[in-house]
Amino acid sequence: STTTASEEDVSSRYPRTDRSGFSRYNRDVSASGNLVSSSTLEKKIEDLEKEVVRERQENLRLVRLMQDKEEMIGKLKEEIDLLNRDLDDIEDENEQLKQENKTLLKVVGQLTR
């Protein structure tokens, strides 16, 4: 299978320690190298934490927007239901008026004879 072959290629090209991301910050590095790595890690952690905060804020904004949209959809559905009821009432009234009109036309026709 091609999936297995490509996974094996990746494994052979990149040893497991290189792919873990931690080998760059190995504990065997000299003290000065360790300080640079620690400060770099701290900076990356700060950046990631800021990004998480931004993403959470964006997520909250989107959740609120979705809730507003769902509320609007609910209100529109209620409005549609009311309009449909009004339409049904108007159609019933129209049918009744047609019947009354037929009756009146018959009466007028009989009176004119």
pLDDT digit string (tens) for 28-75? 444 455 566 889 999 999 999 999 999 999 999 999 999 999 999 999
Q: What per-residue confidence (pLDDT) applies to 113?
A: 80
- Quick check: is 72 in a domain? yes
Q: What per-residue confidence (pLDDT) applies to 38?
A: 87
Task: Give 57's Cβ-side CA count (13 Å radius).
Answer: 6
Distances (CA, A) of 58 to 45, 51, 55, 64, 65: 20, 10, 5, 10, 10
- Quick check: is 77 in a domain? yes
pLDDT digit string (tens) for 2-30? 444 444 454 455 454 444 444 444 544 44
Q: What per-residue confidence (pLDDT) applies to 19?
A: 45
Q: Is the pTM of this model over 0.85?
A: no
Using the 8-state DSSP alphabet, how is residue 24 labeled?
G
Using the 8-state DSSP alphabet, how is residue 10 labeled?
H
Domain count, the chain: 1
Q: Which two tokens stand for residue 11?
A: 């494994």
Distances (CA, A) of 29 to 17, 40, 42: 15, 14, 17
Q: Which two tokens stand for residue 45?
A: 């952690």
- Quick check: is 9 in a domain? no
- The C-alpha atoms of residue 53 and residue 63 are separated, in whole angstroms, by 15
Q: What per-residue confidence (pLDDT) applies to 12?
A: 54
3-state secondary structure of 29: coil
Can you give the residue range of the structural domain that contains 69?
39-112
Q: Which two tokens stand for residue 51?
A: 């990004």
